[in-house]
Chain A
Amino acid sequence: MIRVENLYKTFVMGEVQVHALRGVSFEIADGEFVGIMGKSGSGKSTLLRQLGLIDEPTKGEIFYDDKPTHELSLRERSHFRLTYLGYIFQEFALIPELTALENVMLPGMMKGEKREDYERRATELLEIVDLGDRIHHRPKQLSGGQQQRVAIARSLINTPKVLFADEPTASLDSTSSKIVMETFQKLNKELKQTIILVTHEPDDERYLHKTLWMKDGKLIHHKTAI
Chain B
Amino acid sequence: MKQTLRTWKVGFFLTVRSLTRGNVSTTLMTIFMMAMIFVNLIFLTSIINGLVHTAYNQIIETLTGHILVEPAAGKGSLADATAVEKELMHVNGISHVSPRTNFSAELEYNGEKGSYRGVAIDTEKEAAVTTVKNHVVAGRFLEPDDTNAVILGNQITGGEDVELHEYSLKNVQVGDAVKMTFANGLEKTYTVVGIFDNDFVQADNRFFVNADEYFSLFPELKNQASEMAVRMDHSDVYDVDAVVSDIESRSIDANIRTWKDTAGVVESFTASFTIVNFIVSIVGIIVAGITIFIVMYVDVVNRRKQIGILRAIGIAENSIAISYLLRALLYAVVGIILGMILFNVVIIPMFIRRPLHLPVGNVSLIIDTGVMYMRALALLIVSFLGAYIPIHKTLRMHIIDAIWGE
Contact = CB atoms under 8 A, between A and B. Distances in A.
Interface of A: 49, 52, 54-55, 75, 78-79, 81-83, 85-87, 89, 93, 95-98, 102, 106-107, 109-112, 138, 154-155, 158
A81 B10 contact: no
B314 interface: yes
Given A55-B400, A97-B22, A98-B17, A109 B10 contact: yes
Given A89-B403, A95-B310, A110 B17 contact: no
A78 B21 contact: no
Nearest to B318: A75
A97 B313 contact: no
B3 A106 contact: no
Nearest to B311: A78
Contacts of B398: 55
Interface residues of B, number: 28
B306 interface: yes
Contact of A112 (B3, B18, B305, B399): B3
Interface in B1-56: 2-3, 6, 9-10, 13-14, 17-18, 20-22
Contacts of A93: 305-306, 309, 403
Contact of B399 (A55, A83, A97): A55
A155 B14 CA distance: 18
Contacts of B314: 78-79, 81-83, 85, 107, 110-111, 158
A110 B312 contact: no
Contacts of A109: 6, 9-10, 13
12 contacts: A55-B400, A75-B316, A79-B314, A89-B312, A93-B309, A93-B403, A96-B306, A98-B17, A102-B17, A107-B313, A111-B314, A112-B6
Contacts of A82: 313-315
Given A98-B17, A106-B315, A107-B315, 17 more contacts: A54-B312, A54-B400, A55-B400, A78-B317, A79-B314, A81-B312, A85-B314, A93-B403, A95-B309, A95-B310, A97-B18, A98-B21, A107-B314, A109-B6, A109-B9, A109-B13, A112-B3
At the interface, is chain B mostly helix, strand, loop or mixed?
Answer: helix
A87 B22 contact: no
B316 A110 contact: yes
A82 B3 CA distance: 13
Given A98-B17, A112-B6, A87 B313 contact: yes
Q: Which of B21, B311, B312, B313 has the most CB of A within 10 A?
A: B313
A166 to B, nearest CB: 10
B21 A97 contact: yes
B210 interface: no
B362 interface: no
A79 B318 CA distance: 13
A98 B17 CA distance: 7
A78 B316 contact: yes
A83 B316 CA distance: 12
Contacts of B9: 109
A95 to B, nearest CB: 6
Nearest to A83: B314
Contacts of A138: 21
Contacts of B13: 106, 109
Contacts of A83: 314
A24 B305 CA distance: 28
Given A97-B17, A138-B21, A106 B313 contact: yes
